[in-house]
Amino acid sequence: MSPMDLELPQAMPKNRLEVRAHLSVPEMGNTPSRVLLSENAFVSMLYLERRRAERSHKRFVLVLVDVQGALSGGQTDRTVLALSKAMAESTRETDIMGWYLENSLMGIIGTELGEASNEVIQECFLTKLRTVFEANLGAKKSSTVSVSFHFFPEEEREGKADHSANIALYPEIQIREQSKRVSLAAKRFIDIVGSGLALFCGAPIFGAIAVAIKLTSKGPVLFKQERLGQYGKTFMVLKFRSMRTDCDSKIHQQYVHQFIAGKVDEGSNSDKKTVFKIQEDPRITAVGKFLRKTSLDELPQFWNVLCGEMSLVGPRPPVAYEYEAYEVWHRRRVVEIKPGITGLWQVEGRSRTRFDDMVRLDLKYARAWSVWLDLKILAQTPAAVIQGEGAH
């Protein structure tokens, strides 16, 4: 038995939610019986454990046990009971056991990990599981069982190139997407039609902006920057260039870190509230200042929408150094839904709000999302752009 790289199924059948009742593992000596949770219950506990870890900053580990091979030889109920007994024997009473994927993957949520390293915890779990599985299942069936480990919070190292989220830790998002597949298809249809029309009808405006940029500053018309999409997958976002080409990004990087940490003061002038973007940024050109004020610099992102990397409505996609400064709970805005050109915080607060408030608006949108909400936000966006409040 060895760790495996888990590949979760892309499509989860509708009857996946119709699971069997909880299974009680028989009492072992003086200890109370342990319960193998149903799939719904286990996914709910995993969700709650993530929320608890976000607040307490204490790690937990999700151990997934692939038992599909062990269950394929018949006597399913006896094998499940033996597997459950083995898992109960090798874990603490406070650890949570259940079906992660019915009749396929069993899960263990190991909490209160202390100061031990991930490697030590993984080796300890493997040693215990290997021993008890062989004792309860026999060597032949035990050899068909494989185990994978998924730690939360996921480790984030500064300068790390890959910020992709471990989707095994977020099964409820896949369940939610499956239940809303018709609405998501409608959202994608709106994205394709809307971005296509914007690119076609806006071609003259695109051309005029390109000429203005070329005549007033040296460099390319478009600015390309790597951003993080849903689940932290990287893509190249497009914008009209609003800054000089010889600029150092460190000034913005430092500002973003301070802003996320709540260390940017509003100052004595009430007209200059705290904003996400630097006000009076010396790197911005004269044309660029107008483009940013009117949000015209964002127009090329309709191409990102057409390609499926973004949506018309969704959270703003962050750059990597911004994501690295996030608190654990901030990362949910990247995981839970695809980024967009406009969103709830753009129409309700624009950039004149604290970062935590911006994240809460993004998460509110992710929870309450519907096609109607998207249409409502799209209808409110022109007014927010015309007002220009908070745009810099």
Cis-peptide, bond into residue 382, ω within 30° of zero: no
Write down the pLDDT at residue 23.
56
Paired strand residues for 60: 152
Write down the pLDDT at residue 276.
53
The phi-psi region of residue 186 (left if phi > 0; otherwise alpha if psi is between -120 and 50; otherwise beta) is alpha
Write down the pLDDT at residue 169.
94
CB 148 within 8 A of CB 104: no
CB 255 within 8 A of CB 351: no
Q: What average pLDDT does range 123-150 have in this prediction? A: 87
Write down the pLDDT at residue 18.
38
- φ, ψ of residue 239 to 5 degrees: the values are -145, 160
Residues in the chain: 392
pLDDT tens digits for 63-102? Answer: 999 988 888 766 788 888 888 888 888 888 889 999 999 8
Write down the pLDDT at residue 357.
87
Q: Which of 67, 71, 85, 74 is nearest to 31 (CA)?
A: 85
CB 34 within 8 A of CB 25: yes
Weakest mean pLDDT among 111-120, 183-192, 225-234, 345-354: 345-354
Q: What average pLDDT does range 104-112 have in this prediction? A: 91
Q: What does the domain layout of the chain look like in residue ranges?
A: 14-164, 180-387
Task: Give Cα separations from 332 to 165, 242, 327 (angstroms).
Answer: 10, 30, 10
14-164: CATH topology is Alpha-Beta Plaits (3.30.70)
Q: Which of 278, 298, 310, 299 is nearest to 390 (CA)?
A: 278
Q: Is the pLDDT confidence value at 42 over 90?
A: yes
Measure the CA–CA gap between 147 and 106, rounded to whole angstroms.
10
Question: For residue 63, how many other CB atoms are within 10 A of its CB?
Answer: 25
Write down the pLDDT at residue 248.
67
Q: How confident is the model at residue 331 (pLDDT cuts 50, 70, 90)?
A: very high
Q: What average pLDDT does range 311-340 have in this prediction? A: 92
Based on the number of CB atoms within 10 Å of its own CB, is 281 exposed (0-12), middle (13-18) or buried (19 or more)?
A: middle
pLDDT tens digits for 236-252? Answer: 999 999 888 777 677 77
